[in-house]
Amino acid sequence: MDEQTAQALKAFTTRYCDAWHEKNDSWPLSEELYGVPSPCVISSTGEAVYWQPQPFEGEANVNAVERAFDIVIQPAIHSFYTTQFAGDMHAQFANETLTLLQTWSVDDFRRVQENLIGHLVTQKRLKLSPTLFIATLENELEVISVCNLSGEVCKETLGTRNRSVLAPSLAEFLTQLKPLL
């Protein structure tokens, strides 16, 4: 496990939850995750759930993705997706407004791995170097991802070679994130 990435993710999650507490006097609330089982759920309203991060349960790696492509995935990606269960969190990085993706449960973790595999299949078919997404942007054709060759965090336009480096590492990227509520 990449300990720097795990620590940076936990630190950002704490900043996010603290900002939410300060603004709303509660744990984060999500309408999108209402009715979806998770160890993170504290309570529900009629249409939303309050959640708090929980330790990841299960095998702490994305080996299913590695096996599917017979490649080695950057250690930071293993840590990013297996440090905790949490809801997706809105954030700001420089001029980018994003939604940091998280796994919500063991079932969601399986789904995320399947989506990562699908992303890599498309990249291979288009002869693009492999990236693994970690966040979405308002423009659905763009994502924030980690380059599997360099470990750099990039903004990329899906299905193209358009990529711009945002940070030299996932830990550095997470350290610079600011919570958006």
Model confidence over 123-181: pLDDT tens digits? Answer: 999 999 999 999 999 999 999 999 999 999 999 999 999 999 999 999 999 999 999 99
Residue whose C-alpha is closest to residue 32's, from 49, 46, 16, 45: 49
Rg of the chain taking only CA atoms, in angstroms: 16
Q: How confident is the model at residue 69 (pLDDT cuts 50, 70, 90)?
A: confident
How crowded is residue 153: how many other Cβ atoms within 10 Å of its Cβ? Answer: 25
For strands 96-100 and 49-51, give the pairing: unpaired
Q: Which pLDDT score is estimated for 33?
A: 96
Q: Which pLDDT score is estimated for 59?
A: 87
- Stated pTM of the model: 0.95
Interval 25-35 mean pLDDT: 96
- 31: Cβ–Cβ under 8 A, 6 or more apart, which residues? 47, 48
**Does position 1 have pLDDT exceeding 80, yes or no?**
no
Which CATH number among 3.40.1580.20, 3.40.50.720, 3.90.1170.50, 3.30.300.30 corresponds to the domain 3-179? 3.40.1580.20
Which tops the pLDDT comparison, 1 or 145? 145
- Retrieve residue 37's tokens: 């089982």
How is the chain split into domains, by residue range? Answer: 3-179
What is the 3-class SS of 34-79, one letter each residue?
CCCCCCCEEEECCCCEEECCEECCCCCCCHHHHHHHCCCCCHHHHH
Reduced to 3 states, what is the DSSP secondary structure of residue 172?
Answer: helix
Q: What is the pLDDT of residues 85-133, one digit of tens each?
A: 999 999 999 999 999 999 999 999 999 999 999 999 999 999 999 999 9
Residue with structure tokens 């309050």? Answer: 50
